[in-house]
Amino acid sequence: MADFLLYALLAGLALAVVAGPLGSFVVWRRMAYFGDTLSHAALLGVALGFALDVSPTLAVTVGCLLLAIVLVTLQQRQPLASDTLLGILAPSTLSLGLVVLSFMHDVRIDLMGYLFGDLLAISPTDLAWILGGSALVLCLLAVLWRPLLAVTVHEELATVEGMPVAGLRLALMLLIAVVIAVAMKIVGVLLITSLLIIPAAAAQRHARSPEQMALGASLLGITAVCAGLALSWFKDTPAGPSIVVSAAVLFLLSLALPKR
């Protein structure tokens, strides 16, 4: 197998495994739009990374974390609904990213690669970032699993029972931010949320516990990555979109299967 295909496969699988449990939380807590906003902001992170001459992956991680904090602060300070705020922040940060990039005449970047992913161009360094980031997020999710679940079920009950609710909520946002930063190479900023949401939504109908849903989502994600890469390899289709299309097909199949 060619090296680049192996890298692509490993990166895709790492992302699929962590996207299962994290995507389940995104579905349960109705954070799909939040994920979308963060991923749009990722492009701004890329632009700033070039402007300040730091690693784009690092810049994107920091950028997403900052946006998550800005969002939480805005939510607490003023009365606009969250979806309105997200509707302001998502296109604004994406546009700002594009504007900043246009100022840098000496930088040639593959915009399509950032928007839709360039999985087959992953370098060993990128792969290390992706594996490390995914492992970190997976460990933190395992440790925080029960408190996060308690907060998702009922925030006030969790508060009274002594859990640090605001901290947990922020932690979940930060985990999503890290995953988006590392996933950008794989499926691009415009497609990242689909990898979080589609497998989780497909697993939802057939799961009887939160853990089953998370695990099922990971397995479906792995299947989608393999199928998408195969499609890309044999039919020369773009890798990221092929993975998303595979995931969507799996979702449709899950609807066709009778509910347990």
Partner 1 sequence: MSEALIRLEQVGVSFSGETVLERIDLAVAPRQIVTLIGPNGAGKTTLVRAVLGLLKPHTGKVWRQPRLRIGYMPQKIQVDPTLPLSVLRFLRLVPGVDRAAALAALQEVGAEQVIDSPIQTVSGGEMQRVLLARALLRKPQLLVLDEPVQGVDVVGQSELYRLITRLRDRYGCGVLMVSHDLHLVMSATDQVVCLNRHVCCSGHPEQVSGDPAFVELFGQTAPNLAVYHHHHDHSHDLHGAVITPETHVHGAHCKHG
Binding residues vs partner 1 (CB under 8 A)? 27-30, 146, 149-150, 152-154, 156-157, 159-161, 201, 204, 207-210, 212-213
CA dihedral (138, 218, 36, 192) positive or negative: positive
Nearest distance from C-beta of residue 156 to partner 1, angstroms: 6
Q: From CA 82, how far away is CA 94, in angstroms rounded?
A: 18
Nearest distance from C-beta of residue 232 to partner 1, angstroms: 31
Residue 204 or 223 having the CB closest to partner 1:
204
Check if the beta carbon of residue 14 is closer than 8 Å to that of residue 44: no
Q: From CA 218, how far away is CA 212, in angstroms rounded?
A: 10
Q: From CA 125, how far away is CA 1, in angstroms rounded?
A: 19
Residue 165 or 178 having the CB closest to partner 1:
165
Nearest distance from C-beta of residue 225 to partner 1, angstroms: 23
Residue 122 or 171 having the CB closest to partner 1:
171
Residue 178 or 202 having the CB closest to partner 1:
202
Nearest distance from C-beta of residue 207 to partner 1, angstroms: 5
Nearest distance from C-beta of residue 98 to partner 1, angstroms: 34
